[in-house]
Structure 1
Amino acid sequence: MRKLILGFYCSVDGKSADADNGIRDVMTGVDDPEQEKYFVDGLWEAGAFLMGRVTYEAMAGFWPTSDHPSAKAMNEIPKVVFSRTLESAGDWPETRIASGDTAAEIAELKAEPGKDLVAAGGTAFLHSLIKLGVVDEYRLWGLPAATGRGAPLFPELAEPLNLRLVKSTAFPSGVLELIYAPAG
């Protein structure tokens, strides 16, 4: 069975780039060839890239014509967009829409053979996955900046979500990758 891996770039104070809080500028301003290669190599390990409609619309307007080092992977890896309103996946190659029940769609994707699933994007979609309890691994990319504002990864939880550290990787730029799995 495939795992669902949630990927999230954030400031050291745990805020996302959803809001105009400067993290997007930090993210795009990191000049670290070692981290970039590590990230792109990791993308190729994904069996599918999962996202919500808002993230899809932003990415579909960028990746198909981008010369960014991640573009080839982002264009060739299968993508699944979770949306009940989107009618077409447009021209972004290897993209399909999942419009049914999110938990059921995730269960079907996990049951398929192949490489693990990677979910990323806006916090609204990621919050829904966390609340459904379908995340098998959290890959947090801590950027070397604090913002004091922006959306946190974890929504209000009914009870604490205990995690165990699986792996950590530090890069020369100050970016940290922290991989956690649910404990117990």
Structure 2
Amino acid sequence: MRKLIAGLKVSLDSKVEGPEGFADWVSAWSEDYGLTPQIDAVVIGGGMYPGYEQYWTAIENQPDQPHPLTGVNPTPAELEWSRFAAETPHYVMSSTVTTSEWKQTRFIGGTDDIANLKRQPGKDIYLMGGARLTASLLDAGLLDELRLIIYPLIAGEAKALFATIEHRHSLDLQRVKQLPDGLVSLVYTIK
């Protein structure tokens, strides 16, 4: 069975976005978890998807220009992810978002769809977020692995990754890696 692997960039106090609705401490939104070689599908929540599609479409369409949202040129890793994302099926779990500009986008409605996706042949699946979707799939027993990049800051009043978790979950630490600028990469399997 395919694994569902969540990869998220969080503050030390497990916040995924600040009061303005985004994680202003993250300098690039590339896939920095080492997942790309082992995945062939992406799951993303409907609240996050419209901004995600807009962000990566801008990089795909103008790879050598400053990004309209950030004002800076895309990093090499962002360019790599934009090419990968344009060719990779994205499954948007939403009851409200139903349209997309990307031809590779499909819409799904619930945890049964995720369970069915895991049973299909293929590589592993990257659960990109958001926080509510990650928590609900963890509670549903569908999340197999959690990869976090921890930023050395306490965000305070902000959206917490695990704010909506309903059940206790034990994790098994698989890997710890210190990254530049005080970041730490953690990989856990879900028991």
Shared fold, TM over 0.5: yes
What does the per-residue CA deviation read over 1:140-175, in whole Å, with 9 as the maximum and x for residues that have no partner?
110121112222222354543111101122212222
State which of 32, 37, 40 in structure 2 corresponds to 1:39. Answer: 32
CA distance in 1, matches of 2:138, 2:33: 25
CA distance in 2, matches of 1:84, 1:120: 18
Compute the TM-score of the two structures, normalised by the length of structure 2: 0.80
- The 1:115–1:62 alpha-carbon spacing in structure 2 relative to 1, beyond 3 Å, is same
1:40 Cα offset (Å): 7.4
**1:96 maps to what in 2?**
106
- Superposed, 1:72-91 pairs within 5 Å as 72-88=83-99, 90-91=100-101
Question: 3-state SS of the aligned residue for 2:10?
Answer: strand
**1:121 maps to what in 2?**
129
**2:2 maps to what in 1?**
2
Structure with greater helix share of residues? 1
- The 1:103–1:18 alpha-carbon spacing in structure 2 relative to 1, beyond 3 Å, is farther
Q: How many residues align?
A: 173
**2:114 maps to what in 1?**
106
**1:49 maps to what in 2?**
42
Which aligned runs of 4 or more in structure 1 are off by greater than 3 angstroms? 155-159
1:92 alignment partner AA? W
**1:33 maps to what in 2?**
none
- The 1:110–1:18 alpha-carbon spacing in structure 2 relative to 1, beyond 3 Å, is farther
Coordinate RMSD, CA, aligned: 2.3
- The 1:24–1:83 alpha-carbon spacing in structure 2 relative to 1, beyond 3 Å, is same
Question: 3-state SS of the aligned residue for 2:25?
Answer: helix
State which of 53, 56, 61 in structure 1 corresponds to 2:54. Answer: 61
> Tell me, which stretches of 5 or more residues in structure 1 are unaligned?
31-35
> Tell me, which stretches of 5 or more residues in structure 2 are unaligned?
64-73
CA distance in 1, matches of 2:102, 2:18: 22
Q: Is the 8 A contact 1:136 1:182 kept in 2?
A: yes
Structure with greater strand share of residues? 2
Compute the TM-score of the two structures, normalised by the length of structure 1: 0.83
1:180 Cα offset (Å): 0.5
> What is the identity percentage for the equivalent residue pairs of Structure 1 and Structure 2?
28
CA distance in 2, matches of 1:116, 1:163: 19
Q: Is 1:12 aligned to 2:12, yes or no?
A: yes
CA distance in 2, matches of 1:161, 1:170: 25
